[in-house]
A and B are shown apart, each in its own frame.
Chain A
Amino acid sequence: MISTPTVRVLYIDDEENNLQAFRASFRRQYEIYTAISAAEGLLILQNVDIHVIIADQKMPNTTGVEFFKGVVKTHPDPIRILLTGYTDIEALADAINHGDVYRYITKPWNDLELHNSIKNAYDAYKGRMDLRNKMTELEKTNDELNRFIYSISHELRAPLVSVIGIINLVKMEGLYDSSGEYWGLIETCSNKLDYYIQKTLQYYKNTKDVPDHSEINFGLIIQELIDLHTYSDKDTKFNVVINQNVKFISDAFRIEVILSNLISNAIKYQKTNEPNKTVNIEVDVNEHKASININDNGMGILKEHLEKIFMQFFKGKMHHGSGLGLFIVKEALDKINGTINVSSNIEDGTTFKITIPNAK
């Protein structure tokens, strides 16, 4: 046997005859509540979980439309049906356009028509509830995922960072070469793992977070990133020219991710035998956008690779990238409506041109 859900219907009308007729027609199909006035209807609404409200338009103290307008804030969930004569079409159109009324039925009602309307109204109610439950579920899943990512960034990375700390100690105590190449291999692997964790978090955070709007000082960010990335390798010379006289608003995290990956690449992919390793960074900021050029005299990118470098896990054959850096750059730019172009050749090196709209 299929059990049909209990649909609770509240009918408000100042004419007792109508209430009785309604009860007689529908008491078998629905759980019926009736009220002789708007005030009494409100009282029921406060105590019973009603799915569908039907109200007469013409009542002594208030109209059905006004009643609906009042309850829509306190009881937004029940679906509202108006019962009316042909006379007050204007008030009706207004109510429907404002979303206060789901449907209207003309008086005297036709049982079948009203029955169908209640059925449809209940379906709408159920759809609304399903959607809300799904939203709650989704928020919960999202929260869990966030906690999971947060714990990866701490619990998973913390011991790895301890390992790298121990390797540093081994170096400081002059033991690095004491076991052949083993310490060096451990160091390479640890750094690689750390790099993957960092990129994965960057990627995840980029996909998930809504862009934030903070003030960006390109001079400051770029200097910090250069300091960070040249810490272990000071061979590369940076020429930085910043023209920023206006306020620039954009997403701080994503801009940092974009610039960080490009600056790190510019250092990583230098020619080993180049005596003047150089990176030029130019930033021009105006009311509408920031234009950024990052140019290096590094090893360049093969022409046939240029189209693929922004694809996930694409790696050049000779070099040990992760295939994630430029992919993340592109993804982050997409989120803040930026663009990127690249030109490169093996002789002169590579130039990335980026534009990012000013979100102010």
Chain B
Amino acid sequence: MPNKTGKVLLIDDNDIDLKINYKIINLSGFFQEIILCQSGSEGIDYINKNLDEPNSWPDFILLDIQMPEMDGFEFLEIYKNFPRPFLDHCRLAILSSTLDFGDIKKAEANPLVIKLLKKPLYPNELQELLNKHSMLLGI
């Protein structure tokens, strides 16, 4: 059972969804800290800024696919080049409303993506995923 020690990074260009998912995670109490990013590059910036501070590393990232400028897949292309210790520490799932079979296949084929969650985010679905990965998450 996950407890409130971890940090989660939400990356979504849609501020309503960002607010909804913030509230859902906040109410479920899975994480102590929720970091909100309105774009892929904001997410990359956050990680870059904190690379030397393992205490500030997110334990978990929820990434949207459809975003202007840098979409989820482009984010992953940059993300995969972060140092190994960081990638070993942090887990990433996609959270998208996509029904596009191509998107779904592409996301599932990416080794850095532990799961494709479909919007809306359900607390029990997230909890199940976190339980499965709680050892890896260290939370």
Contacts and interface: CB of A to CB of B under 8 A. Distances in A.
Contacts of A162: 14, 16-17, 20, 119-120
Contact of B66 (A154, A164, A165, A198): A154
A231 B128 CA distance: 12
B98 A153 contact: yes
B119 A165 contact: yes
B2 interface: no
A166 B99 CA distance: 20
A201 interface: yes
A154 to B, nearest CB: 5
A161 B100 contact: no
A157 B120 contact: no
Interface string B80-118: 000000000000000001111100000000000000000
Contacts of B101: 205, 253
Given A158-B14, A158-B66, A165 B24 contact: yes
B137 interface: no
Contacts of A159: 16
A150 interface: yes
Contacts of A169: 20, 23-24, 27
A172 interface: yes
Contacts of A198: 99
Contacts of B14: 158, 162
B20 A157 contact: no
Q: Which bracket fits the contact residues of B?
A: 20 to 34
Nearest to A163: B120
A169 B28 CA distance: 10
Contact of B100 (A153, A164, A197): A153
B99 A201 contact: yes
B125 A161 contact: no
Interface residues of A, number: 21
B100 A168 contact: no
A201 B66 CA distance: 18
Contacts, number: 55
A153 B97 CA distance: 8
A168 B24 contact: yes
Contacts of B24: 165, 168-169, 172
Most buried by B among A150, A153, A165, A253: A165
A153 B99 contact: yes
A169 B16 CA distance: 12
A196 to B, nearest CB: 12
B48 to A, nearest CB: 28
A166 B66 CA distance: 20
A161 B99 CA distance: 12
Interface in B48-106: 66, 97-101
Interface string B24-61: 10011000000000000000000000000000000000
B27 A154 contact: no
Nearest to B23: A169
Contacts of A164: 120
Contact of B120 (A154, A165, A173, A205): A165
A253 B66 CA distance: 21
A166 B23 CA distance: 10
Contacts of A173: 27
A71 B100 CA distance: 44
Given A158-B14, A161-B120, A162-B20, A150 B125 contact: no
11 contacts: A158-B66, A161-B97, A162-B16, A162-B20, A162-B119, A165-B120, A168-B122, A169-B24, A173-B27, A205-B101, A231-B125
Interface of B: 14, 16-17, 20-21, 23-24, 27-28, 66, 97-101, 119-123, 125
Interface of A: 150, 153-154, 157-159, 161-162, 164-166, 168-169, 172-173, 197-198, 201, 205, 231, 253
